[in-house]
Amino acid sequence: MIFITLIASILIAGVSIYQFNKEAKDYHQDRLERKENAIKEHISYILATTTYPMGTENLPLIFRDRIHELANIHSLEINIYDLDGKLLKSSKAAFSVDTINSHIPENILRVIRSTAEKRYVDLRTSPEGKKFRSSFSYLKDTKFKPLGILNLPYIEDDGYYERERNNFMMRFFQVYSFMLLISIIIAYFLSSYITKSIKEISDRLKETRLSETNEKLDMGDTPQEISLLVDAYNNLVEDLDESAAKLAQSEREQAWREMAKQVAHEIKNPLTPMRLTVQSFQRKFNPDDPAIRQKIDEYSKTLIQQIDTMSAVASAFSSFASMPAQQNETLNIVKIVQLALEIFNEHYITFRTDEPYIVTRMDRTQLIRIITNLVKNAIQAIPADEQNPMVEVHVYKENSCAKITVKDNGSGISVEDKNRIFEPKFTTKTSGMGLGLGIIKNIVENYNGTITFESEAGKGTTFMVSLPIVNPDNLTN
**Domain end residue (candidates: 104, 130, 162):** 162
pLDDT at 110 over 80: yes
Q: How do 349-353 and 391-398 pair as beta strands?
A: parallel
Q: CB–CB of 341/351 below 8 Å?
A: yes
**Full domain range(s) for residue 333:** 326-477
Region of residue 148 (left: phi > 0; alpha: psi -120 to 50; beta: else):
beta
Q: What is the DSSP letter of 99?
A: G
- Residue 124 maps to which CATH number? 3.30.450.20
Give me the pLDDT at residue 96, please.
Answer: 47
- Residue 396 maps to which CATH number? 3.30.565.10
pLDDT by residue (tens digit) across 445-456?
A: 888 899 999 988
**Domain end residue (candidates: 118, 141, 162):** 162
> 88 in helix, strand or coil?
strand
Q: Does 311 map to a domain?
A: no
Q: 397-423 burial string, b = 16+ CB within 10 Å, else e?
A: beeebbbbbbbbbbbbbeeeeeeebbe
Q: Does 202 map to a domain?
A: no
| Distances from the Cα of 458 to the Cα of 77, 373, 381, 414, angstroms | 119, 21, 10, 9
Q: Does 375 map to a domain?
A: yes
Give me the pLDDT at residue 329, please.
Answer: 86
pLDDT band at 94 (very low <50, low <70, confident <90, very high): low
Q: Which residue has the higher pLDDT, 426 or 175?
A: 175
Show Cβ contacts of residue 334 under 8 Å, excluding neighbours closer than 6 positions.
Answer: 353, 355, 356, 357, 358, 395
Q: Does 279 map to a domain?
A: no
Q: Does 179 map to a domain?
A: no
- Termini Cα distance of the chain: 88
**Domain end residue (candidates: 107, 130, 162):** 162
Tell me the range of 82-91, 94-103, 389-398 where mean pLDDT is highest: 389-398
**pLDDT, the chain, mean:** 79
Q: What share of the chain has pLDDT > 90, as a percent?
A: 11
Distance CA 404, CA 360 (A): 12
> 323 in helix, strand or coil?
coil
Region of residue 423 (left: phi > 0; alpha: psi -120 to 50; beta: else):
beta
How many independent structural domains does the chain possess? 2
pLDDT by residue (tens digit) across 22-77?
A: 887 777 788 888 888 888 888 888 888 888 888 888 888 888 878 888 888 888 88
Q: Which residues pair with 119 in a beta bridge?
A: 137
Q: Does 195 map to a domain?
A: no
Q: Does 177 map to a domain?
A: no
Average pLDDT over residues 184-199: 79
pLDDT band at 90 (very low <50, low <70, confident <90, very high): confident
Average pLDDT over residues 81-90: 86
Give me the pLDDT at residue 408, please.
Answer: 93
pLDDT band at 431 (very low <50, low <70, confident <90, very high): very low
Q: Does 187 map to a domain?
A: no
